[in-house]
Structure 1
């Protein structure tokens, strides 16, 4: 198979590094210089990307376009690409909802073939090996897999349904990103009272990720009746320390959906999740 020409929209820290990996199996990797900041220009030059003056110029030459931009810009960018009538493979690799991914596919199809994507991990530099999860038409996902074969970007295809890759990315980000914010709040509260080192010592005794223990969700539901008020108290403590309490108040509100299963030991994960999704 001939090596494709690839366009990257746009070379941020993730996009530029991913594009550089794609260059191993591409004839060229293009980027659009119009309206980009000096930092983008520097990154593109650092990773050896080929500048193109305009978006239409990039789209006319590209067989595969990879969109890696701020999530809020993803749909408008796709709309611009659709307006040009791009007819290649469009990899929607932004951290967006499955619903937005489906809308973007609707904008671009049938002229283009859309692949839903989600990158989990850090940019592929200095030994980092993120995974690009894919879902969409088999012929298109196979082309994207081939594009990154043998590079630091690993690929995994989840199926043919648009939205699956985005759902996995956001499901993981829901835990990973929020957990970092919770660390900041916990350490901030502890530091206010001079016990931050002790907190870190307590936490160091447990290194496993709660995300790998979904069976514990049922136990959480059974204990929600007392965990919710505890988090309300913690929210008050955060506010008293000058830290934002809203996240813990929201967690307490979430726990309240399980108030009717107080100490129900036989509750299953499926039961707990069904109650959590109930209005």
Structure 2
């Protein structure tokens, strides 16, 4: 099979790193530079992505398009793509609930072939190897497997039903991200009573406890602008299944207290906890 031309929407920290892996087996990986930040442009250059001026040009030239953006923007982006009558393989790899991926599939088909995707793990840099879970038509998922063969992105096909990959991603995210929020609350409460070190000592006896990693709270705070909407998506999925969504909505509301420290790599645990206590 000829090497495909791939378009990435858009090269954020995860999108750019995943696109960099696609470069290995693609003829070219395109990104649309219009309206993107200097930080995005720097990532794209770092990972050898090819700039194009417009979304229309990217879609016209691409055989495969991978959508990796903040969850709240996923559907609007799909509407933009649908308006250009894209006819290739569209990988909806955002952390959105299964009902939204069904709507996006209905929007893009029959012109495009939609593959449901969900990335579990950190961006594939520095030796990290995330898994891109896929569900959808076998011929299309096979193309995505081939695209990432031999790279730092593992692929795993869950079946032909669109929605499975999104459901797995959100099920995992529900526990992982809510657990980090609970760590912040637990450490914050303990600190208020001057027993935070004792709490960490207790937790450190269990190597599988997030409570033994309190410094991660600062990273959670810097990522809150992304994690909050993802948990809202997961809450919608729980509600659709007849399960109570309140815990995830509460976790999202907690994360909202950190929205003003977006991607702040200098944030400390103390700073994060103070912001949590004083919205």
- TM-score, length-normalised on structure 2? 0.75
Stretches of structure 1 that go unaligned for 5 or more consecutive residues are: 211-245, 252-279
Instruction: Measure, in 2, the Cα distance between the counterparts of 1:247 and 1:187.
Output: 18
Aligned to 1:7: 7
Contact 2:101 2:163 in 1 (8 A): yes
CA distance 1:76–1:150, change in 2 (3 Å): same
Deviation string, structure 1 residues 155-213 (Cα, Å, up to 9, x no partner): 00000000000000000000000100100010011111111111011111223369xxx
Match of 1:52 in 2: 52
Distance in 1, matches of 2:101 and 2:26, equals: 25
Partner of 1:116: 116
RMSD of aligned Cα (Å): 1.8
User: What residue number does 1:32 align with?
Assistant: 32
- Residue 29 of structure 1 aligns to a residue whose secondary structure is strand
Task: Establish whether residue 206 from structure 1 lines up as the match of residue 206 from structure 2.
Answer: yes
Q: What SS is found at the alignment partner of 1:124?
A: coil
User: Highest CA radius of gyration, 1 or 2?
Assistant: 1
Runs of at least 4 residues off by over 2 Å: 207-210, 246-251
Question: Is residue 139 from structure 1 mapped to residue 133 from structure 2 by the alignment?
Answer: no
Give the unaligned 5+ runs of structure 2. Answer: 211-245, 252-279
Corresponding residue number in structure 1 for 2:173: 173
The yes-or-no answer on 1:128 pairing with 2:138 is no
Partners in 1 of 2:40 and 2:249 — Cα distance? 39
Query: In terms of mean alpha carbon deviation, does 201-210 or 32-41 score higher?
Result: 201-210
3-state SS, counterpart of residue 69 of structure 2: coil
Assess if the C-alpha contact under 8 Å between 2:8 and 2:30 holds in 1. yes
Counterpart of 1:87? 87
Q: Distance in 1 between matches of 2:250 and 2:91?
A: 34
Q: Partners in 1 of 2:209 and 2:189 — Cα distance?
A: 22
